[in-house]
Amino acid sequence: MQQPRHRIRRHRHPIALAGATALVIAVMATASSNLPAPSRASAGPSAAAEDSPLGACRITAAMGVQMSEGMPTAPGYARSTGRIKALNLMIDFSDAPGSGTAEERLAEFFPQTSQWFRTSSYGRLTYLPEAPVKGWLRMPLPFAEYGIERGSPYEPGYRDLVKDLVATADPKVDFSAYDLVNVLVTPNAGPSALDTVLSVTFSANEDAPYADGVPLANTSFVYSRQDDGSGSYVETGYRVLPHENGHVFGLPDLYTMEGGGSVGHWDIMSEDWGANNDFLGWHKWKLGWLDNEQIDCADRTGTSEHTLGPLATEGGTKLAFIPLSAETGYAVEVRTPDGNDAAVCRPGVLIYKVSSDVDTGQGPVSVADSTQDSGGCTRQPNVHAELSDAPFRPGETFTDRANGIRISVLGKGTDDNYRVRVTRP
């Protein structure tokens, strides 16, 4: 089952722990189809292996949940560490001839996407984009005849489109040589992203069409341009692709049907339009970009103290996790205006709940807002402002009375390290 992708402009009551009502501004995110099955790619990190010493903090993947936040990541997704080869194909149609050159379309996303993944992964993911066909690949049917709709699955329009794409590209492309596929559609095919978002990813899909003996099981399609005229597109328009490829690596949508009020701009799987932002620390651990040694597990009764370094910098302890059950817990990390988080306007300790038993697009992560109803600290376009000042500062405490959890920020040290105290029954 697929969750459709929406652009929302309305008030909502977010499921963030703060419970604040916020205006969702220009939310853009994408959904994926997840049909787990064995594949030649080994999905997820070795850090999340079954014999992980972190015990209860490695919450399990829930059965029947699409793109579960649990560990380990289900088989069938693309590898998230090492050298990843990405095939990029630029396509157009007789009723939507290529807008500009195909190489110009490719340049909208590269090298920015490769650089984004290099920064986010601390160099553990080397993303190698290749485009063996330099020009537009003209599809045999007009775009309108494929019947592509928002969130439509691999039947029937996409199956026909991919079949034609493979037949057109196969003489020049060995599909078996790549870990994932990006189909960059001419932006004048279909509606504007301001009206309807067609971009979608099919990930870990064993029912996908085959090419050169392999299923196109991890394939992202990007349409239109996320350009609202604010002037931000030149710097941030590429970010739809790292979001889509996040699904290829097994990550769920963190936006909901109502928009980005659950996580805001703290993860690219929530908001991929507007100012730059990184992955959450939980996702970096899940992807194998953080080692077990960089995680503190606060699973014992009583009080524990943790010193956490900024998520944007390499090395050191990055994440404290407080399990509530086998499928839920609180993550604690430090976010600063560095690396992919250059737009952070209130540095501090970010606290959020992770639920592995919640489907993609239904709110598997929810951020606690330390400054409820403040309106946020950013005025950058296309950013969920209310949660932009969510991090906690020294002297502030998050409390979950129902579960008896207290997370207090004790102080800030050198190099933006923060000391945190966790109290649990």
| Co-location of 221 and 303 in the same domain | no
Any idea what the Cα angle at residue 75 is, between residues 71 and 76, rounded to 5°? 135
Among residues 363, 366, 369, the alpha carbon closest in space to that of 398 is found at 369
Greatest Cα pair distance in the chain = 67
Name the residue range of residue 234's domain.
26-248
Q: Is residue 14 part of a domain?
A: no
| Co-location of 204 and 311 in the same domain | no
* 357/386 Cα distance (integer angstroms): 26
Q: How many domains does the chain have?
A: 2
Residue 154's pLDDT is: 75
Helices of type H across 155-298: 157-169, 233-236, 240-248, 281-286
| Co-location of 60 and 161 in the same domain | yes
Q: Is residue 36 part of a domain?
A: yes
| Co-location of 178 and 34 in the same domain | yes
* 16/20 Cα distance (integer angstroms): 7
* 178/157 Cα distance (integer angstroms): 24
Q: Is residue 39 part of a domain?
A: yes
| Co-location of 308 and 171 in the same domain | no
| Co-location of 94 and 233 in the same domain | yes
Q: Is residue 306 part of a domain?
A: yes
| Co-location of 119 and 220 in the same domain | yes
Three-state DSSP string of 8-47? CCCEECCCCCCCCCEECCCCCCCCEEEECCCCCCCCCCHH
User: What radius of gyration do the chain's Cα atoms show?
Assistant: 21
| Co-location of 215 and 309 in the same domain | no
Residue 51's pLDDT is: 52
Residue 52's pLDDT is: 57
Task: Walk along the chain (425 residues) in steps of 10 and give the mean pLDDT of each run.
Answer: 30 30 31 35 45 82 92 94 98 97 98 98 98 98 93 82 96 97 97 88 88 94 89 90 97 86 94 90 98 97 98 97 98 98 96 97 96 94 92 98 98 96 97
CA count, 13 A, side-chain hemisphere, 33:
24
Residue 70's pLDDT is: 97
Name the domain boundary from 224, 248, 272.
248
| Co-location of 100 and 174 in the same domain | yes
| Co-location of 291 and 244 in the same domain | no
Residue 11's pLDDT is: 26
